[in-house]
Chain A
Amino acid sequence: MLIKAEKAINRFSDFLGTVSAVLFLLMLANVFIDVVMRYVFNDVSIAMQELEWHFFAAMFMLGVPYTLRTGGHVRVDLVYERLSAHKQSVIDIGGGVLLLLPFCLLVGWYGIDFAHEAFALGEMSGDPGGLPQRWIIKAVIPFAFFSTAIAGVAMILSSIITYRENTLHKTDRGLL
Chain B
Amino acid sequence: SMAIFGNAQADDKVYRLKMAETWQTNFPIFGDAPRNMAAMAEKMSNGRLKITIDSANKHKSPFGVFDMVRAGQYDMGHSASYYWKGKVPNTLYFTTMPFGMTAPEQYAWFYQGGGMQLMEKVYGEFNLMSFPGGNTSNQMGGWFQKEINSLDDLKGLKMRIPGFAGEVLAKLGASPTNIPPGELYTALERRTIDALEWVGPSLDLRMGFHKIAPYYYTGWHEPATELQFLINKRSWDRLPADLQEILRVAMRTAAYDMYIQSYHESAENLAVIETEYPNVKIRTFPDDVMSALRKANEELLAEKAAADPVAKEILDSQAAYLKKVRRWTDISDKAYLNSISVSK
A/B touching: CB–CB < 8 A: yes
How many A-B pairs have beta carbons closer than 8 Å: the answer is 54
Within 8 A of A (CB), among B43-93: 67, 71, 82-88
Once A38-B158, A117-B67 are accepted as A-B contacts, the answer to whether A130 and B175 lie under 8 Å apart by CB is no
Chain A residues whose C-beta falls within 8 Å of the C-beta of B82 in the assembled complex: 126
Asked if B67 contacts A42 (CB within 8 A), the reply is no
Within 8 A of B (CB), among A124-156: 124-130, 134
Asked if B85 contacts A126 (CB within 8 A), the reply is yes
Asked if B86 contacts A44 (CB within 8 A), the reply is no
A6 at the interface (CB under 8 A from B): no
- Interface size in chain A (residues, C-beta < 8 A): 21
Asked if A38 contacts B86 (CB within 8 A), the reply is no
Chain B residues whose C-beta falls within 8 Å of the C-beta of A127 in the assembled complex: 86, 162-163, 166, 176, 178
Minimal Cβ-Cβ distance residue in B for A41:
B156
**A123 touches which one: B86, B156, B177 (CB < 8 A)?**
B86
Asked if B178 contacts A49 (CB within 8 A), the reply is yes
Asked if B85 contacts A44 (CB within 8 A), the reply is no
B313 to A: closest C-beta gap in Å: 20
Do most interface residues of chain B lie in helix, strand or loop, or is the interface mixed? mixed
A113 to B: closest C-beta gap in Å: 8
C-alpha gap A127/B160 in the complex (Å)? 11
Minimal Cβ-Cβ distance residue in B for A121:
B87
Asked if B177 contacts A49 (CB within 8 A), the reply is yes
B37 to A: closest C-beta gap in Å: 26
B59 to A: closest C-beta gap in Å: 14
Chain B 170-183: CB-based contact to A (< 8 A → 1; otherwise 0): 10000111100000
* Residue contacts A-B, CB under 8 angstroms, 6 given: A44-B177, A49-B177, A121-B88, A127-B163, A128-B166, A129-B167
Further contacts, 17 of them, CB under 8 A, given A42-B156, A127-B178 = A38-B192, A42-B158, A43-B156, A44-B175, A46-B176, A46-B177, A46-B178, A49-B177, A49-B178, A113-B71, A117-B71, A123-B87, A126-B84, A127-B163, A128-B170, A128-B176, A130-B86
Residues of B within 8 A of A (CB): 67, 71, 82-88, 156, 158, 162-164, 166-167, 170, 175-178, 192
